[in-house]
Structures are given as structure tokens and as C-alpha cells.
Amino acid sequence: MILYYAQGACSLADHIALHEADMTFERVRVDLKSHTTEDGDDYTHINPKGYVPALQLDDGYVLTENIAILSWIADRVPRLGLAGFGRFRLLETLAFISTEIHKAFKPLFTPDATAADKAKAGVAIGGRLDLIAGQVEGPWLFGPEISVADPYLYVMLMWARNNALRVPDTLNAFFDSMTLRPAVRRSLEHEGLR
């Protein structure tokens, strides 16, 4: 299994989740500007969408999209998912993080975005972080057991902090606790972020 990732990108969520799952995998870094892998291959031949993450499964199938990859990991390692109706609560949360928080960061990563666009994005992200902060059961999103949604939220908080956005206290505490987890530390180390 191979995880295609870029340093500190949303693929860090999948990277952490794979470690939380104790899965064996290789990592291949992708240069998102040139769409080239660290081995010099054309990344668009692996994932025609051109973006990370992509997870090449052992049977060769290349799974893309954070929601799909994280759901696949939870399917394989049920302790990282929720049972019964909880499956839909998990999906609901992954979708909220992906479509409402992750996507809202776009102006902050777009070099020619105006200051007004960036400020507007910051306000939108702040409001959505407030919403998800109200959902944290503690210490993790769904209570005492970590799920695949937690690493995704962690990456969003890392971006928020790096962009000096306001982060609710509950989520700062969540972030600090996540950073202590061996799977997080290992992933940060592998990506050269520590």
C-alpha cells in the first residue's frame, strides 16, 4: 500500500489515520506544483486529479478523496470508526470537515487571493470551527475512542494556527492532546514537520 502525500497537506490526515490503524504502508511524496513524485514519476498517471491524497491499495486500485480513504481505513479497522447509526455521524463529520472547513481554506493558499478574500475565509472558518468545537465529546470528537475524523480535524487546526486564525479553546486542547499521540508524532516526523 502506498500513500501519496505532500508535506503538511490534507494527506497528513490519512497519514496519521494509517499509523493509528497500525497499517503497513509506504509513503511517496508528491510535488504539487510539478505533479511529480519523489521518484520522478508523473503523478497524474497515478491520480489524474493531480491532488493528494491518493492511496494505492495492495491490489493496485488507487483510492482518492479524504472522505473515501478515511472511511476505507475505518472499514478495515473498526476501532477507528463508529458502529450502527454512528457510521452516519462519522460520515456527516467527515463531510463537514471536507466541504465546509477544508475547502474554506482555499483563499488562504491561493497566492493571488485578495486580502478581503482571505479575511472572509478566516471568518467563515472561525464560524465552522465554533460549530465543530460544540460537537467535541472529549477528549476526541466522538468521546474516549479516536476515530478517523480526528486526524482530519487535527490538520484543519494546524492550518488554522499556521494562518493565525482564531481557534476555540476546546479545539486548542484537542490539538495539543492529538500532538502527543505516537501516530501523530510519527507522521509529523516522516513529513519533516517536527
Ligand X SMILES: N[C@@H](CCC(=O)N[C@@H](CS)C(=O)NCC(=O)O)C(=O)O
Count of chain residues binding ligand X (CB under 6 A)? 11
Q: How far is the CB of 64 from ligand X (least distance, A)?
A: 6
Our finding on whether 125 is near ligand X (CB under 6 A) is: no
Other CB atoms within 10 A of residue 47 CB: 19
SS3 string of 2-44?
A: EEEECCCCCHHHHHHHHHHCCCCCEEEEEECCCCEECCCCEHH
- Amino acid (one-letter) located at 7: Q
In three-state secondary structure terms, 141 is coil
Q: How far is the CB of 30 from ligand X (least distance, A)?
A: 8
> How many whole angstroms separate alpha carbon 16 and alpha carbon 155?
10
| Residue from 47, 66, 147, 187 binding ligand X (CB under 6 A) | 66
What are 115's three cell numbers?
486580502
Q: Which is nearer to ligand X, 6 or 146 (CB)?
A: 6
- Amino acid (one-letter) located at 162: N
Our finding on whether 9 is near ligand X (CB under 6 A) is: yes
Write down the residue that cell numbers 521518484 correspond to: 39
Q: How far is the CB of 35 from ligand X (least distance, A)?
A: 7
Q: How far is the CB of 1 from ligand X (least distance, A)?
A: 17
Our finding on whether 32 is near ligand X (CB under 6 A) is: yes
| Residue from 17, 46, 52, 165 binding ligand X (CB under 6 A) | 52
Binding site for ligand X (CB under 6 A): 6, 9-10, 32, 50-53, 65-66, 98
